[in-house]
Structure 1
Amino acid sequence: MSAPPADRARIFELVSLLLTYPDGELLSAGEQLRAAAARIEHETVRQQVTEFLDWLLAAAPVEAQRHYVQTFDLRRRSGLYLTYYLHGDTRRRGMALLILKQRYRAHGLRLAHGELPDLLPVVLEFAAQVGPGEGEAPLRQHRQGIELLRTALAEAGTPYRLLLDAVTAVLPDITDADRAAIAALAVAGPPAETVGLESLGHGPDLAGAALAPYPACSPAEASR
């Protein structure tokens, strides 16, 4: 892990915000977002986030919004819900979501109504707020899902791949066991067992981020 805790928190918070739906408030905060990116000490990550911002802020708002929906809401392979990659639509996923909720509750984090705890912007915001150890544990535990999402974004050629590259750049390296598991999941896909999980939805279709994005932090907060 090549970045100090304060810089990792800064990275996680900014990426959390940039992975939300690009509404008018976000797109109008270009100056604050660039200022927040400039304060990242990790040179590679700073360049990755800056490159992403160059694309996002140059795009027409309707095109940026359409791209977000097509990337995260309409493609099961690149959904932002991390437990889906490992557990699919199974009872194990319900338990994984419960464990995450309990972890958040222990640190005073309350989710918005209908919000699932495995949404990557939520997981990143928790890591930024709580810090190394307990705060970053969900990122480490769901590293396989993060890597599968990262691969899917790279294959799609979307600029959002830069944000996943930025996150993984400051996480511990994956193990050989992780690589084997990721390769197996990439071939077989997540397990399926829909009985009793109707309320959880399916992959990236879970929450309609285009309609109600997670407010990781305000643009002004990201610039602090």
Structure 2
Amino acid sequence: MTGDRTGLVRAWQCQSLLLGYPDEAFFARLDLLDAAAAGLDDRVGAPLRRFVAHVRDTPPGELAADYVATFDQRRRCCLFLTYYAHGDTRNRGMALLRLKQTYASAGLNLVGHELPDHLAVVLEFAAAAPDQGRALLIAHRAGLELLRLALHDADSPWADVLDSVSATLPPLVGDQRQAVARLAAEGPPAEQVGLAPYASPDHLPQPQGAPR
């Protein structure tokens, strides 16, 4: 799968949409996403199909509450990738700015209020600009792996989506394994300054349609 460009683009688009907040648009796309996942390599597609099956078997309100409890209330399950490397420090603000510049250089501009390091946004970018997007995902490999492990520890259905993301990337090696171990042991830096104009994960707008 790591060498199948068409399959990678399809996988990253599916993963991006399945990591979105489960609103009406999310459920409206479910049949299409299930069909797209069925055409992927089994290592990438099977976890997505398991997640879709879970979604179909779960009442929408329960799924939405689980999404908020998982991603908005657990720091270890943060979907904002620069948080793992930089925490709430001024370095994170610069990392967010660099991401926006990377998107703009590829001719893509963010719309709405989502931060550029949200995993769904990065995956959508990867689907639109595969070479640059793959490089971004690999650059954040340690954070992605920590998120994947945290979701498994929480017995979260979204662990399947992260398993699928991981299957599109090269295996962890050397320094990446050490980075994961360090993040797991120490967590991200904790300096609480310098994020303007960006908010920390604790102060982000609620996802559209999320309960308040």
Scaled by the length of structure 2, the TM-score of the pair is: 0.93
Q: Percent identity?
A: 46
- Tell me if structure 1 keeps the 8 A contact 2:93–2:196: no
Deviation sequence 1:38-87 (CA, Å, 0-9, x none): 222x1122211111000011110101111111111111110110000010
Structure 1: 5+ residue runs without aligned partners? 213-224
Q: Secondary structure at the match of 2:207?
A: coil
Counterpart in the other structure of 1:221: none
Deviations 1:95-118, CA, capped at 9 Å, x for gaps: 111111110001111112432110
Inter-partner Cα distance in structure 2 for 1:92 and 1:198: 11
> Contact 2:93–2:194 (CA<8 Å) still a contact in 1?
no
Matches within 5 A, 1:137-216: 137-197=135-195, 199-203=197-201, 205-209=203-207, 211=209
Question: Is this contact kept in 1: 2:146–2:184, CA < 8 A?
Answer: yes
2:190 alignment partner, SS class: coil
Q: 1:23 is matched with which residue?
A: 23
Q: In 2 relative to 1, CA 207–182 (structure 1 residues): closer, same or farther, beyond 3 Å? A: farther
Distance in 2, Cα, partners of 1:205 & 1:148: 22
Following the alignment from structure 1 to structure 2, what is the Cα–Cα distance between the partners of residues 3 and 122?
Answer: 22
Aligned residue identity for 1:107: A
Matches of 1:33 and 1:65, distance apart in 2: 18
- Summarize deviations over 1:2-57 as a string: whole Å, max 9, x none: 450110110000000000001122223332222121222x1122211111000011
Greater alpha carbon shift after TM alignment, 106-115 vs 158-167: 106-115
Partner-residue secondary structure (3-state), 1:10: helix
Aligned-partner SS, 2:133? coil
RCO higher in 1 or 2 (8 Å CA, sep ≥ 6)? 1
4+ residue segments displaced more than 6 Å: none
Between 175-184 and 9-18, report the one with greater CA deviation: 175-184
Q: 1:207/1:113 Cα in 2 relative to 1: closer, same or farther (>3 Å)?
A: same
**What is the CA-CA distance between 1:197 and the residue it aligns to?**
2.2
Question: Where do residues 27-106 of structure 1 align in structure 2 (5 Å cutoff)?
Answer: 27-40=27-40, 42-106=41-105
Whole-Å separation in 2 of the counterparts to 1:8 and 1:32: 17
Alpha-carbon contact 2:84-2:188 (below 8 Å) kept: yes
Separation in 2, partners of 1:4, 1:90 = 37
- Give 1:210 deviation, angstroms: 5.2
Counterpart CA distance in 1 for 2:200 and 2:207 is 14
Paired residue secondary structure (1:200): coil
Question: In structure 1, what is the Cα distance between the partners aligned to 2:69 and 2:137?
Answer: 24
Instruction: Determine if contact 2:151/2:158 at 8 Å carries over to the other structure.
Output: yes
For 2:138 and 2:128, how far apart are their aligned partners in 1? 16
Name the CA distance, whole Å, in 2 between partners of 1:183 and 1:210: 34
Alignment check: 8 A CA contact 1:126 1:135 kept: yes
SS in 1 for 2:147: helix
Distance verdict in 2 for CA 1:56–1:92, change over 3 Å: same
Where structure 2 has 5 or more consecutive residues not aligned to the other structure, the ranges are none
Q: Which moved more, 1:1-10 or 1:64-73?
A: 1-10
Give the match for residue 222 of structure 1: none
Is the 8 Å Cα contact of residues 153 and 160 (structure 1) preserved in structure 2? yes
Which residue type is aligned with residue 137 of structure 1?
Answer: A
